[in-house]
Structure 1
Amino acid sequence: MPKVASVSAPDRTSGVRSRFPRQLRLLNAGDYKHVFDHAPFKVHGKGMLVLARPNALGHPRIGLIFSKKNVRRAVDRNRLKRLVRESIRLQQHRLPPVDIVLLARRGVHELDNASVARQLNGMWRRLEKSARQTRHDTSST
């Protein structure tokens, strides 16, 4: 029996993953230190803390700190980091140009993926609002 050719085109997007671009990451210890030393924006969420400071790059950058002390299992640390990276990748155009350090706190690993996504979206909104308010306050004086 002869083989029948496929009528539909092959799906080339099924194996393609969106990457987290290098330009959206804090890359060295100096970048982290700068945020820790001069962070005018602090946003608290359940199990997470965001520290941020304005940058001159025109886009946000993020650094993640998930210590073994606060998130014991590697599988949980990796899951949470994936969720944060995906969230920032999707929200990058909404966020102000800031350098962000996101710190995990105890108990964050107990949240399910949907709860983490909701927490992050709320934190990004509050960060955006704080940065907008600060820009508005400095431009009006």
Structure 2
Amino acid sequence: MKPENVAKATSRFPAAARVRAKADYARVFEQARRTSDPLLVLHRVAGESPARLGLAVSRKVSTRAVVRNRIKRALREQFRLLRAQLQPGDCVVVARSGAATATSAQLRAAFVNALQRAGALRAPQSGPATMPPPLNSPVASSTSFSTDEPEPDAGRETPAR
């Protein structure tokens, strides 16, 4: 196999990563913790198995199948990219009518935001720190902060009352 085909095969969205059975959907809707967004609602149930995704995009969202399929493709792709970072369990996304006019980037951002708020998305393993370094650390001392500039309100006088 060519190297690009190996990478593509390892990053697929297999059937094992999908919520497929009616009973699984019913269990998620009954027991799930819900997280809302103007574009979608995320129903999540923690579990032992690796993360799985189910999608519900009804004709109430759009009567056009091409629009519904675009929504599902964008959400599936974002799930596929994040799957390794997700907590075990089942997620079912129900699209809202606003999703029909949203861009793929907006749908993906709403999905990531909902996953984070639901506690399904683990923090990235490596990356920049979320807190600035302490002032006495070597990193902080190598960064120069200019204090010569006045504050934006420093030159304004307050009117007398």
Query: Same-fold call, TM > 0.5?
Result: yes
Matched residues, number: 119
Residue 93, structure 1, aligned to residue 87, structure 2 = no
Q: CA shift at 1:107, angstroms?
A: 1.8
Work out whether residues 71 and 107 of structure 1, in 8 Å CA contact, stay in contact via their aligned partners in 2.
Answer: no
Q: CA shift at 1:13, angstroms?
A: 3.1
CA distance in 1, matches of 2:97, 2:47: 29
Where in structure 2 are the equivalents of 1:1-141 lying within 5 Å? Answer: 13=4, 18-39=11-32, 41-57=33-49, 59-128=50-119
CA distance in 1, matches of 2:43, 2:30: 10
CA distance in 2, matches of 1:126, 1:107: 20
CA distance in 1, matches of 2:68, 2:90: 21
Structure of greater Rg: 2
Unaligned 5+ runs, structure 2: 123-161
SS at match of 1:90: helix
CA distance in 2, matches of 1:84, 1:53: 18
Q: CA shift at 1:124, angstroms?
A: 1.6
Q: CA shift at 1:12, angstroms?
A: 6.7
- Relative contact order, higher structure (CA 8 A, sep 6+): 1
Work out whether residues 41 and 95 of structure 2, in 8 Å CA contact, stay in contact via their aligned partners in 1.
Answer: yes
CA distance in 2, matches of 1:92, 1:127: 15
Find runs of 4+ consecutive structure 1 residues off by over 4 angstroms: none
TM-score, length-normalised on structure 1?
0.75
Q: CA shift at 1:20, angstroms?
A: 1.3
Work out whether residues 39 and 98 of structure 2, in 8 Å CA contact, stay in contact via their aligned partners in 1.
Answer: yes
Q: CA shift at 1:28, angstroms?
A: 0.6
Work out whether residues 87 and 121 of structure 2, in 8 Å CA contact, stay in contact via their aligned partners in 1.
Answer: no
Unaligned 5+ runs, structure 1: 1-10, 132-141
TM-score, length-normalised on structure 2?
0.66
- The percentage of counterpart residues that share the same residue type is 31
Output the amino acid matched with 2:65. Answer: A
Deviations for 1:16-57, whole angstroms, at most 9, x for unmatched residues? 575311111012100001101111x21111220011111121
SS at match of 2:13: coil
